[in-house]
Structure 1
Amino acid sequence: MSPLDRLTELCPPPAARRQPVDWARVESALGTPLPGDYKQLTATYDPGCFAGYLWVYDPRHTSVHVNLVGSASDRIRQQMESDQARGIYPAPVDAALLLPCGATDNGEHLFWATAPQGRPDAWTIVVNEARGPRWFHFPGSLTEFLVAVLGGETAVPQFPADLLKGGTGFEPSDPDQWYPPMPTVTPPLDSAAIRAWGRANGFTVPLRGRIPSAVWRAWEKATGDEALPDGGPGRPC
C-alpha cells in the first residue's frame, strides 16, 4: 500500500471538488520543482485540515496563512534565517533550505528541507516549536509524515499528546476560500534576468533558490510588469 493510499484510508477525502493546480506557475514562483507526492496529495485532497490540527499549505487557498506561495511563507523563511543568524532556536538544517509546507493550529510550522537541491522527491520534513527551541526531523516525504503522525506511528514532541483523540478525519476549507481554476499555463519567468536586474540595482540576490520578495516588487515597479496577478496564487511577494 502506498503512503497516499494509507492516508486516504486514515482520512477519507471528501466528495471530489478538486481544482487543478498550475504547477508550472507555482514552481516558477518558488524557484524550485516540488515533490511528486505533494502534487498527488493536492490532487486527492482539497485545501483543508487533518485531524482538526494539521494544515498542508495549498496554492489554491486564498488565505496567505495557508497558501504555499503566500506572503506569510516569505515572512516565515525570513524569520528562520534571522533566528539562525542570531543563534536563536537554530534549525537542524541550514535555514536557507527550509521551505514552509504546512502549519498547525498551535503555531508550529512544517518545512521541507530542500536538500539535495533539484531532487525534491528526496526532501525530508522538519517541524519547529511554536514558542520554543525544539525541532523535529522526519526522514521522509510530507505524505509519509502525515501517515506516520495520523497513524500513531510517530509522536512529534511539539504536538499535543492527545492529537488523535478526536479522530484523524479531514475537513476541507470552505470553497469560497479557494482560488478559481487556472486553465492556462504561464511560461516560466526569466529568473536569471530578474536576478541580474536586482544585482545591477543594488539588491543582494542569491544565485539560486527563491528570489527575495523585495526584488520582485522593485522589478515589477520598475518594469511595469506583473509577474503574477494581484492576489493570485503563486504571487512571490
Structure 2
Amino acid sequence: MTSLTALTGLCPPPAVVPPAPDWPQVEDTLGTDLPQDYKDLITTYGPGQFCGFITLYQPHAPSEWADLTGPMPARLRGQIEEVRQAARNPWQLPHSPENLLAMGVTGNGDYLFWVTQPADTPNEWTVAVNEALRAPWFTYKGSLTEFLVSVLSGTASVPMFPKDLLDRTPAFTPSTLESSTPVAAARTPVSTRAIRDWANANGYDLPERGRIPIEIIEAWKQENPS
C-alpha cells in the first residue's frame, strides 16, 4: 500500500478538485524539483485543510499566505535566524535555514518545512515542524504524505500539535479561497528565467538552478512593478 492510498483511506479526498498545476512550470518558478508525493497530494486533494488544522501551500495560490510559489517560503527562511538571534537565549537550529523550504502551516501558526537535503533528490526530503519560527522543532524522517498518515492515524505525536486533534474522525475540508478572491487568483505567475536573466545582467551572482534569494526577487519586482 502506498502512503497516498493510506492517506485517502484515512481522509477521503473531495469528489471534485481543481485541475492539476503545470508542474514543470511550478518547478521552473521555484528553481527546484519537488517531491513526487507532494505533487500527487495536491493533484488528489487540491486546496484545503486536513482536520481543519493543517494547510499545505499550493502553487500559485490566490493568497500569498498559502502560495508555494509566492514570497512566503523565502520570507520565512529569512526570518528563522532573525527570530532566533532576537531571543534572550538563542536556541540551536536543527537544520540550516537555507535547507528549509516552507510548504504548510497549521491553525496555531506552526510551520511545516521540507528539509531539502539532498538538494537534487527531492523524493528523499524529510519534514520539519516548527512553532512560529521558534523552538521547539520536530523532525519527521519521511515524506510529507507519510508524515500526514502518521499524524492522522495517531502513530506520530507532534509536540506542538493540539492533543485533541484526532478527537473527531480525520477529514479533509476543501478550501473556498479561490472563489472568494477572484482578483488575486487571476495573477500571472512569473518564470524565474526572467528573474535570473535580469539578475545576471545586473551583476548578481546567481546560479542556473536553486532557489532565488528573496532580496533578488524583491529587487526585480522594484524594477518590474507591472
Structure 2: tracts of 5 or more residues without a match: none
Q: Distance in 2 between matches of 1:153 and 1:62?
A: 34
> Would the aligned equivalents of 1:59 and 1:67 in 2 still touch at CA under 8 Å?
yes
Structure 1: tracts of 5 or more residues without a match: 231-237
How far residue 173 of structure 1 moved from its aligned partner, in angstroms, is 0.4
How far residue 31 of structure 1 moved from its aligned partner, in angstroms, is 1.3
Q: Distance in 2 between matches of 1:36 and 1:120?
A: 8
Q: 1:72 maps to what in 2? A: 72
Q: Distance in 1 between matches of 2:148 and 2:129?
A: 12
Count of aligned residue pairs for this structure pair: 220
Tell me which amino acid in the other structure corresponds to 2:110: E
Measured against aligned partners, the alpha-carbon deviations of 1:167-190 in whole angstroms (never above 9, x if no partner) come to 21000001415847x9xx997616
- From 114, 117, 138, the equivalent of 1:115 is 117
Measured against aligned partners, the alpha-carbon deviations of 1:172-217 in whole angstroms (never above 9, x if no partner) come to 001415847x9xx99761665444335x2xx575785321233234
- From 92, 99, 103, the equivalent of 1:97 is 99
Q: Secondary structure at the match of 1:171?
A: strand
> Would the aligned equivalents of 2:105 and 2:111 in 1 still touch at CA under 8 Å?
yes
Q: Distance in 2 between matches of 1:59 and 1:161?
A: 30
Tell me which amino acid in the other structure corresponds to 1:197: A
Measured against aligned partners, the alpha-carbon deviations of 1:12-69 in whole angstroms (never above 9, x if no partner) come to 0111232120222221221110000000001100100000101111114211111112
Q: Distance in 2 between matches of 1:123 and 1:16?
A: 29
Q: Distance in 1 between matches of 2:180 and 2:74?
A: 20
Q: 1:197 maps to what in 2? A: 201
Residue 47 (structure 2) pairs with residue 47 (structure 1) = yes
Q: Secondary structure at the match of 2:15?
A: coil
User: Aligned ranges for residues 1-237 of structure 1 at < 5 Å?
Assistant: 1-83=1-83, 88-130=90-132, 132-174=134-176, 175-176=178-179, 179=185, 189=193, 193-198=197-202, 200=203, 209-219=210-220, 221-222=222-223
How far residue 72 of structure 1 moved from its aligned partner, in angstroms, is 2.4
Tell me which amino acid in the other structure corresponds to 1:115: Q
Using structure 1 for the length normalisation, give the TM-score: 0.81
Tell me which amino acid in the other structure corresponds to 2:105: A
> Would the aligned equivalents of 2:29 and 2:190 in 1 still touch at CA under 8 Å?
no
> Would the aligned equivalents of 2:3 and 2:149 in 1 still touch at CA under 8 Å?
yes
Moved more, 5-14 or 83-92: 83-92
Tell me which amino acid in the other structure corresponds to 1:3: S
How far residue 219 of structure 1 moved from its aligned partner, in angstroms, is 3.4
Q: 1:61 to 1:208 in 2, by over 3 A?
A: closer
Q: Distance in 1 between matches of 2:60 and 2:11?
A: 20
Q: Secondary structure at the match of 1:162?
A: coil
Tell me which amino acid in the other structure corresponds to 1:145: F
> Would the aligned equivalents of 2:37 and 2:144 in 1 still touch at CA under 8 Å?
yes
Moved more, 79-88 or 46-55: 79-88
Using structure 2 for the length normalisation, give the TM-score: 0.85
> Would the aligned equivalents of 2:60 and 2:70 in 1 still touch at CA under 8 Å?
no
> Would the aligned equivalents of 1:47 and 1:60 in 2 still touch at CA under 8 Å?
no
